[in-house]
Structure 1
């Protein structure tokens, strides 16, 4: 049973199939290039696309737009310390702004940065510093059907192998992404977080938590990790975050906000370094590229994110979508993650090789069939990698209803029914930086 009722609605429209066909061609078979008015149900991302609460809307009115020393910033500081436990906060306009100012302070050319699995912008920021981003997932993360409560965990064994090759002095940071977005939104255990803390102490590395979905991860811990079955989501979140030296946060996920982000630190020296970069790239240290009203909404959203009723409803809706898909025999990554359902495009289209981007072909077919926009997270988004060919259906928070979920499932069923007729794609235009090519590249169907 949902924990919300509607106070505002937005009309949406499913374009005719012929129009969807034309839209795909005009977009270069890249759904990032589609206008939102051409999309019926938008699962491209859960970042900044959710619905704010009445308390967040009320907070907008309280926004202090002062350039320096705004009380809105102090409210954000208090929320970060209360919810996440970090005393130092540097705001940024969104998560990738926070990544820029943090990794620019931590990482130099020639370094290696370890992660359970780097997401696209994280990988790009590390590469932009001239460093090497290396993934260290546990083995079951790459097995779509493997059982496991915490398939998002960091492999200490893989991390040690990399350190032996490059030297501990060349590994300035280890990042733990919770939940593990690129590994199908799988959660990370508190036990694994403690192990990563010890590993960082061994090699003298800064331990960073990518905390974009920290509340969703904490919810899974309460459900799956025996030590925390009697703990609240808020208690688990504080515990898990307490092991990190710093956190990088997109407020557009578990901040329940449409914009914003920050770096949070325990160490005053690192805080000062990040703060100065923030002033250079984002704005003064008490607004960081955000308006005061957006900062206020983010401060409220952080507190709402760890409320039991909210998080159970949020994860429950994603689980419902995944369960319906699985019941229909559609190939979904198991177990279902916290913010998205991931389809196995390789199983959808075994006749399409990786170099013809089966995931992107599936993305296009889902839009063509039902106006549903998703995102590919396989060989197109992550070139030169051995990641599974996944398509992510990211569910915006507090936005869609049961009927929308059922439409998504029916759309996927229709694609599955004619899957043998689908052909692969080839790139006709792409940017120089491959790590971000999936945002703007253009493709066309293979002959």
Structure 2
């Protein structure tokens, strides 16, 4: 039973199938182009799509809208310090704004940036600043059926091989993403975090943690890493983040808000803090609001503290696990074990007759919408061009929004798609933006005849 009750509702409706067919064609077979009102269960992303608490709404009513020195920002600074351990905070309107601030200060032309796996906007910011984004996942990450408890870990063997190739002087930044979104939302152990921090120190690189889902990761550590079995989620989160020189955070995930982000910088990194502060003023706004309203900052400060509350984070992760189990029980090929924020369907297995250059993941995404009004997102070769990663379909679960009946509907819809897999054709791109790292947001496709 959930530890909270619903006090506000938002009606939704399932369009008739012929209307869903028409909406999909009008969207160019790209579900980013669908109207929200035409979606029945929206699992496109868990970023900024969740439900805020009554304490967050109450905080919004007291938001300080001062341009400089607002009380709400002081509350956010205190929350970041208490929950995450970073003394210096540079606010931004959302995660990619924070990435622009941080990676613009750290990355130069010709640099190589290592990550357990770059997500789309992270990779794009590295590339935009002239860098080369290199993924260093562990071997288990690519094994859909491995029961390794920390498939999100960073491969130090892979990282050392890259450093030997390009030279340590050309690797100024090492990034650890927790949980590892691009690798099916899999968690990262504290032991691996310590090892990565030591590696970054050895090559004189800045160690950055992408902390968007730090609380979910801490929950997995509590459940799976024996050293921390008796520790609280809050204590584990602070321990894991304590090894980083800086963090980049989208508040739209484990900040439990609809907008907002920040760069957190360790005390003693004064030059980096000042560089980020000046970039923040240039691109986001003054350094005590950073593109957010005071009321949004106030809600963010409350949300960070709620994110490490034991009942909340346990229920959050368990709902995702229930969706994974419901899909697996129906024979839908899913990445296991489930991650913390999403379930990933293997479209290469589900639609094994569709060649990879015809984007089977995107085809599955389209059929989920056509079949049951469910919106997911492709995280395979369409979203990540020129990679050999599997064609996964991510079903990201918004926080504190959907109930068990929605989970069952999604599982039934995916099962129905798999049952008529032979009828589904691949897709081809007819129009895409110049920057292919971001093409999945706006490209248009059509079915292959």
Q: TM-score range by the shorter chain?
A: over 0.9
Q: Which residue of 2 aligns with 1:357?
A: 359
Aligned equivalents of 1:143, 1:23: Cα separation in 2: 35
**Equivalent pair of 1:247/1:264 in contact (CA under 8 Å):** yes
In the TM superposition, residue 5 of structure 1 has moved relative to its aligned partner by 0.6
In the TM superposition, residue 387 of structure 1 has moved relative to its aligned partner by 0.7
Q: Which residue of 2 aligns with 1:223?
A: 223
Q: Which residue of 1 aligns with 2:396?
A: 394
The secondary structure found in structure 2 opposite 1:249 is: strand
Aligned equivalents of 1:223, 1:278: Cα separation in 2: 37
2:274 aligned with 1:272, yes or no?
yes
Aligned equivalents of 2:285, 2:229: Cα separation in 1: 42
The secondary structure found in structure 1 opposite 2:69 is: coil
In the TM superposition, residue 115 of structure 1 has moved relative to its aligned partner by 0.2
Aligned equivalents of 1:162, 1:264: Cα separation in 2: 27
Greater Cα shift, 265-274 or 275-284: 265-274
Unmatched segments (≥5 aa) in structure 2: none
In the TM superposition, residue 327 of structure 1 has moved relative to its aligned partner by 1.3
Aligned equivalents of 1:43, 1:282: Cα separation in 2: 28
2:377 aligned with 1:344, yes or no?
no
Aligned equivalents of 1:383, 1:33: Cα separation in 2: 20
Q: Which residue of 1 aligns with 2:381?
A: 379
Unmatched segments (≥5 aa) in structure 1: none
Aligned equivalents of 1:147, 1:227: Cα separation in 2: 19
Q: Which residue of 2 aligns with 1:239?
A: 239
Q: How does 1:194-209 map to 2 (within 5 A)?
A: 194-209=194-209
Q: Which residue of 2 aligns with 1:170?
A: 170
Aligned match for 2:303, one of 301, 304, 320 = 301
**Equivalent pair of 1:146/1:334 in contact (CA under 8 Å):** yes
CA deviation vs aligned residue, 1:23-78 (integer Å, no higher than 9, x gap):
00000000000000000000000000000000000000110000000010000000
In the TM superposition, residue 329 of structure 1 has moved relative to its aligned partner by 1.6
Aligned equivalents of 1:387, 1:121: Cα separation in 2: 17
Q: Which residue of 2 aligns with 1:136?
A: 136
In the TM superposition, residue 2 of structure 1 has moved relative to its aligned partner by 1.1
The secondary structure found in structure 2 opposite 1:215 is: helix
CA deviation vs aligned residue, 1:381-401 (integer Å, no higher than 9, x gap):
000001111000000000001
2:2 aligned with 1:6, yes or no?
no
**Equivalent pair of 1:193/1:240 in contact (CA under 8 Å):** yes
- TM-score normalised by L of structure 2: 0.99
**Equivalent pair of 1:250/1:262 in contact (CA under 8 Å):** yes
**Equivalent pair of 1:345/1:358 in contact (CA under 8 Å):** yes
In the TM superposition, residue 421 of structure 1 has moved relative to its aligned partner by 1.1
The secondary structure found in structure 2 opposite 1:386 is: coil
**Equivalent pair of 1:88/1:268 in contact (CA under 8 Å):** no
Greater Cα shift, 267-276 or 174-183: 267-276
The secondary structure found in structure 2 opposite 1:247 is: strand
In the TM superposition, residue 290 of structure 1 has moved relative to its aligned partner by 0.1
In the TM superposition, residue 269 of structure 1 has moved relative to its aligned partner by 1.8
The secondary structure found in structure 1 opposite 2:231 is: coil
How many pairs were matched up? 447
Q: Which residue of 1 aligns with 2:417?
A: 415
In the TM superposition, residue 171 of structure 1 has moved relative to its aligned partner by 0.4
CA deviation vs aligned residue, 1:212-261 (integer Å, no higher than 9, x gap):
00000000000000000000000000000000000000000000000000
The secondary structure found in structure 2 opposite 1:113 is: strand
**Equivalent pair of 1:426/1:443 in contact (CA under 8 Å):** yes
Aligned equivalents of 1:16, 1:329: Cα separation in 2: 26
In the TM superposition, residue 343 of structure 1 has moved relative to its aligned partner by 0.2
Aligned equivalents of 2:381, 2:265: Cα separation in 1: 34
Aligned equivalents of 2:188, 2:37: Cα separation in 1: 36
- TM-score normalised by L of structure 1: 1.00
User: 4+ residue stretches of structure 1 with deviation over 2 A?
Assistant: none
Q: Which residue of 1 aligns with 2:54?
A: 54
Q: Which residue of 1 aligns with 2:328?
A: 326
**Equivalent pair of 1:46/1:396 in contact (CA under 8 Å):** yes
